Structure formats: C-alpha cells, structure tokens
Amino acid sequence: MSSKLFAGFAKIDVTPDYPIGLGGYSNADTRISDGVVDPIYATCIALTEGEETILLYTLDTCGFGSEMADELRSYVTNATEIPGEKIFVMATHSHNAPALAAHNQAEKYKAFLGAAMAEGAVKALEDRSPAVTMAAKKVFQGMNSTRHVQMADGSVAGSDWRRRGCAAIGNAGTPDSQMVLVKFAREEEKKDILLINWQGHPDCSGQIGKLKISPSFVGPLRDTVVAGSGMEVAYFTGADGNMTIDSRLPEYKHNMNYRRYAVHMGTLVLGLMDELAEVEGEGIATARTYVEAPVDHSWDHMLPQADEVYDLWKATDKATGDELGKKYSFSSVYQARAIRSRAKMGASRTLELNAVRIGGVGIAVGTYEMFSESGLEIKLGSPYEYTMVMTSNSSYIPSRRAFANRCYESDTGFYAEGTAEMLVDKYLEMLNKIK
C-alpha cells in the first residue's frame, strides 16, 4: 500500500437470541431481557496509512472498563495479529443492551461479542479502499442538556427538581451541544464511511420497555442517516456523564420519544453533511497511557447502612430499597452500591487513556463517563480543529463543580474530586504529543 489513507467498514449483528441480563442499572442478574425492539451491532472501522493500521470499534452495549476492553481486544488480536494498543473500543451506552458482567450469561455473551468483533475486523480490513478524510462540526442547542438543574433559590437539583418548590432557571453545568462528523470518502465504488460523535445519554428504557433489547435512539439515528445518505454509519457517544437527550428544563422543547428524537437528529446529521470539508494533514498516530486515579473513600463509614439498603433492595425490589435509602439520606440505591464497591477498592484504580490522530482529526478515547464540561475542555484545548471525545462509560468522573453540588454522579462514581481535571490535562498532553 502507498502512504495514502485506506478505510474499511464492517457491522456485525450481536443481538442475542436468548434472555440475558441488561446493563445500565444495578442488577443485571435479575433484569433479564424478554424481547428485542431493535437489533444491536458491533461496528468496526479499519484505517491504514503507510505501515500504521488501527481499528475503531463502537459497540451497542452500556459500557466497560479497561480490563474488559483488554479482553475484547484479545479476540481481535488473535484473529488479525493487530496489537491491542492499536485497537480502540467504545460503547454507545444503551441501557437496554446486554451487560458484559454480573449475570449468568455474561461469559457466554462476552465470548460471542468477542468473536463478532474478530469477524468484524477481518471484514473491515478486507473492505479497505483509498479514502480522503473530511469533517464538519456544528452546535445544535436544545438537543441535549445536563441532568443537573439550577434552581432560582441557588440550589442545584436532579430529577426531583419539580418537587423543590421554586423555579428552574437553567442547566447547572455546561451541555456539549456540538456534533462532530468525520467522513472517509472512498474510491473504488465503495460506500463512504461516516462517523457521528454526539454528547447525549442513550438511556430511553422507560420509553422502550425496561426489559427489551435496543440500542436506544442510536439505532433509528443510524438507520435514518443510512437511508438518507447511502453511507456506512457509525455512532460514537461522547462525554455524557451528566448529559441527557430528554431535557427536564422548560425552555427546551425536545421532550419527545427516543425514535422521534433519533429521526430528528438524523435529519440534522444529513443537513450538516453539506458542510463537510477535506481535512488537511496526513498520517495516523496513536498513544496509550495509564494513570492511577484516586478512589473516593469518604463514604466508607456508611458501609453498614449501605449493606442494609442494598441487601434489602436485592431481596425485594427497587422501590423498597429507595424507601429504606431515604432513612440514611441516600437519593437511591445506587449510592449504596457505590459505597459497597468503593469500600472494597484500594487507594487508586488504573485508568486507560488513548489518543488517536487521523490526518488532521484528533480523538480522545476513554473507558469511563466524563462530564460534558470535561469533553468541552478537551475540544477547546485540542490542537486539532476537529476533535472527537469517545467513551465506553464504565464509571462517572464528575468535574469539581459537580462535586461542589454533591450531584448524583459524584455520590455514585468511584473516583475522588480532581480526577476529571487530571484526565483532561493528560488527554491534551497526549493529543499534542501525537500531532
């Protein structure tokens, strides 16, 4: 091959044909699927320039940490001999897709998913053809918001803001409403490949049915763009740790069901494609590093109460657990789960950070849920005009502002205050290093 970029695409159906524990909530061992609304997929983009080949995956699953990513990458390496440090795995973050741990079908499904990823890699590599990189970006205000609401009395509320007795005046935090598109315009009569990067939380299980398998709005979004463009399409979730697509604030008017939202978003994508322009820059470069993130042990003294809340909830139902949780000032059983988990951890945990450059496009890849403010800081500080933040969403990493507000995510994440800012600094260092 010459030094020119080559791009290939593959999409593998990974919908299980048996009941399975679903991710995104506390008990995948009891939240077992009873049907399918939309199929779920593992999507692979293979990119080669000169001697450098990388694989970008986006999986319709809730999320996973770096250890799970290593397990999944090993299937691909065994099939292709591409080393794990050149394989980047992200999740679309559906709460209605199979969990990869904590239920009796987890190992079976993980092996099935790994085999599908290996198959996808082989097909994407075979599908490569010469390509030109193009990109576009645009802010779509009102299509997402933070889950935190600034109240007129100066307080910050979550989902209970309507019960606070005063008016909501805006987002407590900064939504990232920028969409980034990257297109690989291919030769040899191959379909072009479009990457969509958007900050919105694909949890619409209340509208889908809590026990139905679905990629949430991501599925009909992809279908809409494919139908309107004829391209191959991959969706990558951004920094969405405090994001939602279904705003609670009265000034936003997009309280629509997930399928209507997806079609509307797809229409915006199709319109933005008119602004795609060729990106200057050549070559592929990557970097991977690991940092020790301090674990938040400030709640360890509440472990006995957390055990009581969690054990009762597991033995009965979530509503009962919530009622008991109020006795100890927990907003939900998720705080109890987090306290139990953190108490078993050491002083720190290892987090994986990845940076990728494709010509003049920069990508920050992580295996956790950073807040939208952190994603924006990466984009604003990036040396690339077009920067995407792609995640797999295994644990919240709130900003300092969120810790100050004692938000849901700061109380249920694993990591201490300041971790988010440390990661932002490291990502910017890596993105500059590979430029």
Rounded distance between C-alpha atoms, residue 48 and residue 4, angstroms:
8
Quick one: average pLDDT of 325-353? Answer: 86
Rounded distance between C-alpha atoms, residue 220 and residue 223, angstroms:
5
Better-scored residue on pLDDT, 246 or 8: 8
Rounded distance between C-alpha atoms, residue 131 and residue 104, angstroms:
43
203-212 pLDDT per residue, tens: 655 666 778 9
What pLDDT shows up at residue 302?
92
83-134 pLDDT per residue, tens: 999 999 999 999 899 999 877 799 999 999 999 999 999 999 999 999 999 9
Q: What is the pTM of this model?
A: 0.93
Quick one: average pLDDT of 135-159? Answer: 88
Quick one: average pLDDT of 148-165? Answer: 83
Query: What letter would DSSP give residue 280?
Result: P
Handedness of CA 115, 117, 118, 123 (dihedral sign): positive
Tell me the pLDDT of the chain averaged across its residues.
90
> Does position 2 have pLDDT exceeding 50, yes or no?
no
> Does position 250 have pLDDT exceeding 50, yes or no?
no
What pLDDT shows up at residue 26?
64
**Tokens 């490949």 found at:** 193
**Tokens 């597991």 found at:** 314
Neighbours of 191 (CB within 10 A): 16
Rounded distance between C-alpha atoms, residue 373 and residue 292, angstroms:
21
144 pLDDT tier (thresholds 50, 70, 90)? confident
Ordered by start, the domain boundaries in the chain are 6-290+348-433, 298-343
The two tokens of residue 405 are 């507000």
> Is beta strand 369-370 parallel, antiparallel or unpaired with respect to 396-397?
parallel
114-126 pLDDT per residue, tens: 999 999 999 999 9
CB 198 within 8 A of CB 179: yes
